[in-house]
Amino acid sequence: MHRVPRRAWWIAVLPALVAAGCARAPAPRVYEEVSVEPRDIVVAVSASGVIQPVLTLSVKSKASGEIIAMPVQTGDEVQRGQLLARIDPRIPKNDLTQAQASLDVAKAQFENASAQLRRSESLYKSQSIAETDYEAAKLSFATARSAVVNAEANLQTAKDAMEDTQVRAPNAGTILSQEAVLGTVISSPTKDVGGGTVVLTMANLDTVQVQGLVDETDIGKVEPGMPVTITVDAYPNLPFTGNVLKIEPQAQVQQNVTMFPVLVNIFNRGHLLKPGMNAEVEVHVAERLQVLAVPSTALRTTSDMASAAQVLGLDPVQVQEDLQTRAAAADSTAVARAGAGAAGAAADSAAAGARPGARAGGTLRLPGGREIALPAGVSAAKAEAAMRKRRAGEALNAEEQALLRSVFAGAGGSAGGGTRGSRGVGAGGRGGAGGGGRSGRNAVFGGNYVVFVLRGGKPEAVAITTGVTDLDYTEVLSGLSSGDKVLILPSASLVQSQQAMRERFQRVTGGGGLPGMQQQQSGGGRAAGR
């Protein structure tokens, strides 16, 4: 059998190995395709707190003495007027008997004084007694009458003291704690400002409260009346519902973090929630059901659009020009659409001009009193409607944005900005859709961004207007359709580091060969030379 020399075998196989090692694999994709689909987006602000009663009552006893009966215990639910405790009534009962006797004596003395006064009047008229005797009889009558009034008041006080020996519930509620027990002797100096001895505490648990601390970065999203979901460790699978009662004006600083207390009212079904339970609170700030949404990681602002374009191998300048071209075309279409009804609006304005106080049809009055001329074909009614929406912080559609841009461009202003305090800016800004004051919800949610969409097999930058976001997904108001493929890109620094690693690998392998192949080739050459 003829044996092939080892060196000849290497010479035959080496070119194929070099060709295989030098053949470059196709460049991996640096993006992930995600379809634009309808989703439910719920935005919630989380906080933690402790369950508390809305109102806690300290039930006091005005009577002093030994507690001889206490028919309730902690946890019992009581009704208004129900007996809670009974104090030894012997002393108040004796006082009541004495007061009744004093009243009887006072009444008898009053009757005697009345009879004496009548006799004195008769004798005085017949001049049988002196005037001083008559005056003395009248004084005795007045004194006796005063004694009756005083005795009646003392009797009523004694009756009240007797009633105070029975402590009754001032309102319906649940007994939370007992400060005194059966057999305790209490002293209640009711004449003091804080008179009375606390026997027990109670509260109505039909509705309870939670005071949660919300970070200052989220407090702008919370408003009174918003729905709230509450969960407690005792019932992890049983959420409770409530609403935001109010936001406290004074902040609290905890570990260098500024927080604002938010008071939440909770309907306590079955009195399952107990005071002192730790609760997790979720304030439902916004909710959108089955709206077009994209992953938040796909959004790009004008500041990072250039780096994203470079990752995709696109020219950033050309991408910016394409965006501006499409925006201008959309503006022209929107303005033409807005001016389609100009003839009808002009006829309406002409008819309205005949009425007293009618406004000229070719101008728009701003809130500060300034009037600006409207471009040709732009309806004053539509311009005013768009302005009202912007001042209210409502989202503007593409047609309204283009309309305001054309109006303010002719007046030397900017359609992206708003009045003082407005957060609305142009594309790529963080404000509302084309504008909006801080009072509107768009001051918190929404903005204009750029996403890269795969169209015709090639990535393309598209400007979009967004709504609410739950940080994972963001609502799309305009710019995309269901089924579009948006691209999720890695960070520019990650792509650059991967590219640098590939370049170093190519340098080490001698232009893309297999590791060690370059050394083997050079070694083989030296062997051949030998």
147 and 222 co-located in one domain: no
Q: Is residue 404 situated within a structural domain?
A: no
Q: Is residue 441 situated within a structural domain?
A: no
Q: Parallel, antiparallel, or unpaired: how do β-strands 252-254 and 257-267 relate?
A: antiparallel
Q: Which one, of 207, 220, 276, 211, lies nearest residue 47 by Cα?
A: 211
139 and 214 co-located in one domain: no
Distance of CA 65 to the CA centre of its chain: 52
Are the C-beta atoms of 314 and 459 separated by less than 8 Å? yes
Single residue among 186, 218, 237 that ends a domain in this structure = 186
Q: Which one, of 428, 416, 423, lies nearest residue 461 by Cα?
A: 428
* pLDDT score at 394: 64
Are the C-beta atoms of 40 and 288 separated by less than 8 Å? yes
273 and 215 co-located in one domain: yes
Q: Tokens representing 357?
A: 């106080």
Strand partners, 295: 473
Single residue among 289, 324, 353 that ends a domain in this structure = 289
108 and 179 co-located in one domain: yes
152 and 233 co-located in one domain: no
| Integer angstrom CA distances of residue 220 from 258, 262, 296, 425, 439 | 13, 12, 21, 19, 10
148 and 70 co-located in one domain: yes
176 and 73 co-located in one domain: yes
* pLDDT score at 436: 34
Strand partners, 365: 371
* pLDDT score at 308: 80
Q: Is residue 504 situated within a structural domain?
A: no
Q: Is residue 138 situated within a structural domain?
A: yes
135 and 172 co-located in one domain: yes
Burial category of 17 from C-beta neighbours within 10 Å (exposed 0-12, middle 13-18, buried 19 and up): middle
- Report the Cα–Cα distance between both ends of the chain, in Å, rounded: 28
Single residue among 289, 316, 347 that ends a domain in this structure = 289
* pLDDT score at 192: 60
245 and 145 co-located in one domain: no
83 and 155 co-located in one domain: yes
Q: Which one, of 408, 396, 470, lies nearest residue 432 by Cα?
A: 396
Q: Is residue 147 situated within a structural domain?
A: yes
* pLDDT score at 87: 92
* pTM greater than 0.85: no
Is the dihedral angle over the CA atoms 44, 47, 50, 55 positive or is it negative? Answer: negative
CA R_g for the chain: 44
* pLDDT score at 333: 62
| Integer angstrom CA distances of residue 105 from 115, 151, 157, 211, 439 | 16, 9, 17, 61, 76
Q: Is residue 277 situated within a structural domain?
A: yes
Where in the sequence is the domain holding 79, given as residue range(s)? 62-186
Domain count, the chain: 2
Q: Tokens representing 479?
A: 């710019």
Q: Sort residue 234 into left (φ over 0), alpha (ψ -120 to 50) or beta.
A: alpha
* pLDDT score at 52: 94
92 and 171 co-located in one domain: yes
* Helix then strand then coil, % of the chain, to nearest 5: 40, 30, 30
Q: Is residue 357 situated within a structural domain?
A: no
What is the spatial distance between Cα 99 and Cα 104, in angstroms, rounded to a whole number?
9
Q: Is residue 151 situated within a structural domain?
A: yes
What is the spatial distance between Cα 252 and Cα 291, in angstroms, rounded to a whole number?
37
Mean pLDDT in each 10-residue stretch from start to end of the chain (530 residues)?
Answer: 50 50 52 86 88 92 90 92 92 92 93 90 86 89 93 92 91 92 83 74 93 89 91 92 93 91 92 93 88 89 80 80 76 59 50 42 58 73 76 66 66 37 33 34 66 86 87 88 86 58 59 41 40
219 and 170 co-located in one domain: no
* pLDDT score at 483: 87
Burial category of 116 from C-beta neighbours within 10 Å (exposed 0-12, middle 13-18, buried 19 and up): middle
CATH of the domain at 268: 2.40.30.170
